[in-house]
Structure 1
Amino acid sequence: MNRIIALVVVVVVAVLVASSSVFVVDPRHVGVVASSGGSPATLAEPGIHVKLPPPFQTVTFVDTRVRALANPDADRYATSDKTELLASPVIRYRVTDPLKLFAATKGDPQTLADRLASLSRDALGDAFSKVTLNDALAKQETIASGARDALREAATPLGVEVIAIEFTRLDFPPELADTVYKRMSAAHEQAAADERAQGAAEVQQIKDDAARKQQGVLADAYSQAQAIKGEGDGKAAAIAAEAFGRDPQFYQFYQSMQAYRETFKPGDVVVVDSSSDFFRFMRGPNGEAASVPAPAAPRRH
């Protein structure tokens, strides 16, 4: 009976030793095998492996997938113009060197989370301190990219590659929100007023340019009209001179008719001396001078 009990005990101990010596690493992880004697830790790739039972050797499983670290509580960051913002970042990372990570954190996931959170606050604080409030709100991706690069360098000793930093919240603290919104509203109103003033100035400039062009066109047109009129007057005078040379009597008759048209208007009543030379063509088409009675011969007594 004692032999049976002893055999059972041996079997149980063997099973326990075997179960603590054999371990399986799935494809999502790698195993870090550490020895109690101070020997360097070794990696165990996915598959079935054997190690010494504790406390001689222990295995720590490290997740090598892309993971996210979120901060449930927003942190305060100050911009270059001394305005505070609340930001809640999400850090996406993956472990690229499990041995470095194990040496820095002893495989404790919480230690890694705390270290990454602290490093990210430093990186984001530096990134926000280099930009103004308006740039911080308008260029969130640029700020996140700069903070990611800084955090990536700081996290290298941890064996971690930082892939991205994203913001789930970027807002003003409650005690500053109203003041900041009023300031932003005033700035936008001023910008709108400046745009309207610039637009009005441009409209006036366009009107002034159009007026100058109009005056130039009118001046050119008037100059051309005067030139054409002068040319026409010259031709008319030449024609009239030629006509006068061919038939002086007809030219005098025509000129007199024009003078009568300009002098007498419909309805005018004019008292004139019909014997005047001005009316000679009214007495006849040839413009004969008015006949004057001959003086009477002296009588002889």
Structure 2
Amino acid sequence: MNRIGFIASTILVVLVLLSSTLFVVDQRQFGVVYALGQIKQVIKEPGLNFKLPPPFQNVSYLDKRLLMLSSLETEPMLTAEKQRVVIDWYVRWRISDASEYIRNVGIDENAGAVQLNRVVRNAFQENINKRTVRDLISVRREALMADVQREVLAVVKGAKPWGVDIVDVRITRVDYVEAITESVYRRMEAERKRVANELRSTGFAEGEKIRADADRQREVTVANAYRDAQKIKGEGDAQAAAAYSESFGKDPQFAQFYRSLDAYKQSFNKKSDVLVLDPSSDFFRAMQSSGSNTTPAAAPRR
């Protein structure tokens, strides 16, 4: 009975020892085998692996996926104008060399996140000190994020490389400390008004130019039309004068009579017109002659 118990205990111990020598590495992880603080092996491929049982060898796992670190603190930062702003940011990063990461950072992702947060924040503070508030809210913000990413890479790839890659650094929010918010709004409003006034001035100048061009074209058109009208009128007057001259040459007495009638017509242009004339004047002669040539009607027979 004691022999059976001994065998069972031995088998159980062997199974426990055997299970402690086996470990599985997931496809999303690095497997790091180390002994007495020294890294013995880094396993990058997924699958079943062997090691010595503890305490001779131990295994740690590191996430090889793309990780995201968001800003942990929201302390104000000073701009080049000595204005206080608060920004939120995030960093996308991944562990590329597990050996360097464990040697220079730590044995888990949290250790890297804490140190990376400090480095990124210092880089943002240094670069924001060189820029204005307008730089933070305009397209020039892209240059700021590129400079921060470059400085962070210089740290993590420096004399003691972290074994990580910095994929991206982005700003998600920019807020102003309440004390300067109103002044920033006023400045933005003034800028928008300035742009609006410039656009209005440009539009007014363009409108004046269009109106001047239209007036010039109108004057040219009217002048051309007047010239053509005068030309046609002159030709008509010449033809009329020729016709009058020909007709009046055949009958001078009729011509004189016609001119007198035309003068009467021009003189009595309105019903209210009144002329005081000497009956013996030349102007009244046509009426006298027409009256003297009129034969009185015969008296009716009874």
The answer to whether structure 1 residue 211 and structure 2 residue 215 are counterparts is: yes
Q: RMSD value over aligned CA atoms?
A: 3.6
8 Å contact kept, 1:101–1:159? yes
Superposed displacement of residue 49, structure 1: 1.4
Give unpaired runs (5+ residues) of structure 2: 294-302
Question: Which residue is equivalent to 1:189?
Answer: 193
Question: Which residue is equivalent to 2:59?
Answer: 59
CA deviations on 1:149-186 (whole Å, 9 max, x unpaired) are 55456545323223333434321123322332233233
Cα distance in 1 between the residues matched to 2:35 and 2:247 = 136
Question: Which residue is equivalent to 1:98?
Answer: 98
Q: How does 1:2-151 map to 2 (within 5 A)?
A: 14-36=14-36, 41-43=41-43, 45-125=45-125, 128=128, 131-139=131-139, 140=141, 143-144=144-145, 147-148=148-149, 150-151=151-152
CA deviations on 1:208-249 (whole Å, 9 max, x unpaired) are 443343333333333333333323222222222222233333
**Cα distance change on mapping 1:54 and 1:194 into 2, 3 Å:** same
The answer to whether structure 1 residue 158 and structure 2 residue 162 are counterparts is: yes
Superposed displacement of residue 90, structure 1: 1.8
Cα distance in 2 between the residues matched to 1:202 and 1:271 = 64
The answer to whether structure 1 residue 233 and structure 2 residue 217 are counterparts is: no
8 Å contact kept, 1:74–1:87? yes
Q: Which of 273, 282, 292 is the aligned partner of 2:279?
A: 273
Cα distance in 2 between the residues matched to 1:245 and 1:111 = 126
Superposed displacement of residue 61, structure 1: 0.4
Question: Which residue is equivalent to 1:295?
Answer: none
Which residue identity does 1:188 align to in structure 2? Answer: R
Q: How many residues align?
A: 286
Of 49-58 and 2-11, more deviation after overlay is shown by: 2-11
Cα distance in 2 between the residues matched to 1:26 and 1:68 = 20
CA deviations on 1:39-77 (whole Å, 9 max, x unpaired) are 654325322211123443222201112221122322444
Superposed displacement of residue 204, structure 1: 3.8
Cα distance in 1 between the residues matched to 2:164 and 2:117 = 13
Give unpaired runs (5+ residues) of structure 1: 289-301
Q: TM-score when scaled to structure 2? A: 0.75
Superposed displacement of residue 97, structure 1: 2.4
Superposed displacement of residue 82, structure 1: 4.4
Question: Which residue is equivalent to 2:226?
Answer: 222
8 Å contact kept, 1:93–1:160? yes
Q: TM-score when scaled to structure 1? A: 0.76
**Cα distance change on mapping 1:89 and 1:247 into 2, 3 Å:** same
**Cα distance change on mapping 1:215 and 1:132 into 2, 3 Å:** farther
Which residue identity does 1:199 align to in structure 2? Answer: G
Q: Secondary structure at the match of 2:32?
A: strand
Which residue identity does 2:73 align to in structure 1? Answer: D
Identity level (%):
35
Question: Which residue is equivalent to 1:176?
Answer: 180
Q: Secondary structure at the match of 2:279?
A: coil
Cα distance in 2 between the residues matched to 1:142 and 1:273 = 105
Cα distance in 2 between the residues matched to 1:26 and 1:83 = 49
